[in-house]
Structure 1
Amino acid sequence: MDGAVAAARAALGSPAWAGLAPAERARIPWRVGDLIDEHAEEVGQLGTLDQGRPIGVSRW
């Protein structure tokens, strides 16, 4: 957890992120959501393999 927090803080202070306009920043999480939707079956299978959930639950 500490590593994730440190990475997030470093990213927020980086010129690559800080230099983005707010509208550009907002597009990034939406794109992540689109990618999850596009790969939903694979994400579901990974959830089942990783956590042992039934595939129906993982797909939901």
Structure 2
Amino acid sequence: MALLDFLIKINPIYIVVLQGFASIFQFNFNLISIYFHFLKSKTQSGAYVSATNRNYLTNTKN
């Protein structure tokens, strides 16, 4: 409980610092997830989707 009382005493500074760290971490995490999603879609599912779309278009034209 002493730690909780200490955090309540320095409440504004602690919250601002914690929010700063959290926002930086969240931003980096979003960048990493977007990058890996782009990488995965470029290699595996991107080629798969384009191939299935091509097959679908050629099959529905006839």
TM-score interval, normalised by the smaller of the two chains: 0.3 to 0.5
- TM-score in terms of structure 2 length: 0.38
Indicate the structure (1 or 2) with the bigger Cα radius of gyration. Answer: 2
Q: Which has the higher contact order (CA 8 A, sep 6+)?
A: 1
